[in-house]
Structure formats: structure tokens, C-alpha cells
Amino acid sequence: MTTIKDTPEEWEIRATATPFTGNKTSVRTDDVVMPDGSVVRRDYQVHPGSVAVLALDDADRVLLIRQYRHPVRQKLWEIPAGLLDVPGENPLHAAQRELYEEAHVKAEDWRVLTDVYTTPGGCSEAVRIFLARGLSEADGERFEVEHEEMDLEYARVPVDELVRGVLAGELHNNCLVVGVLALVAARQGAGPEALRPAGAPWPARPFDA
């Protein structure tokens, strides 16, 4: 019987180039050897990785942020998220930072909800989505935002309402969609307490403890 589990594999690369390097990401072109021996060119975005936080309060509401996303020309309801800015950065620390910076909130209980590749056919981005509970207002001054984050809106929405919005095609942010449905699946299974600990290994983005 086939084991349904993703596994590491790397096909031969005959040539590689980086035609574009941006502030946070770049575009790479690889000439990859196919199983029949042919060589095919593949272009993809090289991404440092991200973290996202499904922050759940005591009223079973998820903390959401509404933000303008220029590539899709929409304002999307999202969960707090951000890049792994430092190579080898502990993803839990990054997630705690993003929750503070974007929402001025801290959490007592952290668990790994799920790990995903956002668009593996064209981008190397890997995202670790955390479940954060025991929410309270963060200490100190609010983080000074800039650019799109100057126009953020906030809401706390019941889990059931988010599931309805996802299935109705009203909510589109991948981390929100995956996070909410993963939470529902966890509740229907062994429960959130059985989720992986916050410091669980992440082979896609190895980190320092």
C-alpha cells in the first residue's frame, strides 16, 4: 500500500540563473532533467518562508485583519502573518512578533496547526500556521506600521461564520482558509490538545531552537 506522505526529492538541474532579485524574494530559472531524459526550463519565485497565526479568543472568535493586496486588487480578510526575515529564525518567535506587530496581541498557548506550501508549482514559499489561544493585549506601545498596514481593519469573527464564508467563496486568503478548516478538522479528530507542539521540527524551513 502506498504511504500518503510527502517526501523530499530533487531532480538533476543542468543550469540555473536568477534573472530577478527583489527586496524579499527573487525569481530563479532552472533547467531540470525530466524522467525521460528531456530538459525542461522551470521559472519560480524563491521565497524565505512565512508564518501565520490563527488567534482564537475565549469566545471562539478568530482575530482577523483586512488588508489591501495589490496583486489581486482586493482587500482580503486575513489572519496575522509575515515573512521569516532572518535565515534560521525560530518560526514561533516570528509568529509571536507578527501577532504583536499587526494586532498588539499576545497569546499564552501556542501549537502548530499545519504546514503548507502556498503555490508549489511556481513558488518555494512554505508557511507554518500556528494556533494561538489565551489572548490578551500586548504590553508596551503599539508597533508603528507603514505602507498597506496603515489602512488595516480588525475584526473578531466566530469560527462557524468563517467556515460559512470560506465555503461560500467569500473568503480567499490561503492561510485563513487552511487555518480555519484545519482547526475544524482538529476538533473533529483528537482535539487541539493533540496538535504538534509550537517548537515541532519543520523540515521545509529548519530553524534554531
Task: List residues with catalytic annotation.
Answer: 149
Which cell is 93 given? 518567535
CA atoms of 94 and 107, how far apart (whole Å): 13
3-state secondary structure of 184: helix
User: Is residue 88 within 8 Å of 81, Cβ to Cβ?
Assistant: no
Give CA 87 to chain center in angstroms.
16
For 59, half-sphere exposure in the C-beta direction (CA atoms, 13 angstrom radius) is 8
Which one, of 139, 141, 150, 13, lies nearest residue 68 by Cα?
150
CA atoms of 38 and 72, how far apart (whole Å): 35
Which cell is 165 given? 464564508
Q: Are strands 126-137 and 50-56 parallel, antiparallel or unpaired?
A: parallel
